[in-house]
Amino acid sequence: MNEPIRVAVSGAAGRMGRASIRAITREKDMILVGALGRSNGLGRDAGELAGVGPLGVAITGDLEGMLQGSHPHVLVDFAPGPAAVANGKQAILRGVRPVIGGTGMSEAEVEELSSLARERGVGAVVAPNFALGAVLMMTFARQAARFFPHVEIVELHHDKKRDAPSGTAIKTARLLARERKDVPQPMGKEEEVVPGARGGAVEGIRIHSIRLPGLIAHQEVIFGSPGQTLTIRHDSYSEESFMPGLLLAIRKVLTLDHLVVGIEPLLGL
C-alpha cells in the first residue's frame, strides 16, 4: 500500500483512544481520518484532546457517518464488549478492518465476528492485550503449565476497569487449561468463610481480580509444586506499553482475510 493507512479510532476521548491517536500520528505510514466518542468529547478536535495539536478530525458519535465520510482502512476500537461487537460488525460490512482491544466479549460474540469476517473476506484482530510483554507472559506460562499443573492467576487493574476478571486473565486461564496434562484435585476440603475469597474460576483455574487507583494493568501467574513456586509476571505502567502491538495489528490486519484472536499469530508465536 503506497498511500498512508487511513485509521479511525473509536473511544477517541478515552485513555486508550488518546494514546492510540498519539501513536498513530507519530507513524509516517498512518493518518488519522476519523474519531468516534461519547458526550465528553463530541465536537472536539481529536488531536487537541490527545495532546498532539489540532488534526482537523472532530470527534463524532455517528459511527456510520464517520465510516462513510472518512473512508478508513482500519477501525481501532476500545469499546467494552457489546459496543465493540456492534462496531466491529458495522465496520466489516463496510469493508473496514476492525482492530478491537476491548474486553468483556464472549466466545460466542468473537465467533460471530469471525464468521462475518470470513464471509466477507475482511481481516480483523481481536486482542485482549496489545502489550508484547503480556503476550510473552502468556507464552511462557503455557510452557510452564505442562510441568506445573497447580496454578492460579492474579490480575490487577485500575479502579475504572469495568470487567472482572480481565480478558487477558480469562485468555491465560484457557491457554493453561489446554496445556496442563492433569487437573489436580484439592489437597483438602476448602471452606470459604467469606464467599468469593478464593476468586472465580475459568476452566478450573482460579483467578483473583484486584482494582485499585494507581494501577494500570498487571498480571501474575503463580505455579506451585512441593518445595517450590514459579511466578511469571507482567506489568504495564502506562498506555504506551500497548502501542507497539497496536501499530503492528493495524499494519498486519491489512494482509488478512479473516479474524485472528490475539497478536500472537501476528508475531509468529
Q: Which residues pair with 89 in a beta bridge?
A: none
Q: The domain spanning residue 80 has which CATH number?
A: 3.40.50.720
User: At what angle are helices 81-93 and 63-70 packed, to 10 degrees?
Assistant: 40
3-state secondary structure of 225: strand
Q: How many CB atoms lie within 10 A of CB 213?
A: 7
- Same domain (yes/no): 226, 251: no
Domain limits at 86? 5-126+239-267
Q: Which of 53-62, 120-129, 144-153, 159-168 has the lowest mean pLDDT?
A: 159-168
- Same domain (yes/no): 33, 90: yes
Residue 1 has pLDDT above 70, yes or no: no
- CA dihedral sign of residues 100, 103, 105, 111: positive
Higher pLDDT, 254 or 180: 254
Q: How many CB atoms lie within 10 A of CB 180?
A: 20
pLDDT (0 to 100) of residue 41? 82
The pTM (predicted TM-score) of the whole model is: 0.88
Q: Which residues are catalytic?
A: 157, 161
- Same domain (yes/no): 76, 49: yes
User: At what angle are helices 15-26 and 243-252 packed, to 10 degrees?
Assistant: 70
- Same domain (yes/no): 142, 246: no
pLDDT digits (tens, 9 = 90+) for 97-130: 999 996 778 889 999 999 999 999 999 999 989 9
- Same domain (yes/no): 216, 244: no
E strands along the chain, which residues? 5-10, 30-36, 59-60, 74-77, 97-100, 124-126, 150-157, 200-202, 205-211, 217-225, 228-236, 259-261
Residue 189 has pLDDT above 70, yes or no: yes
Rounded CA gap, 256 and 66, in Å?
23
pLDDT (0 to 100) of residue 128? 87
Which value, to the nearest 10 degrees, does the dihedral of the CA atoms of residues 55, 59, 63, 68 take?
-40
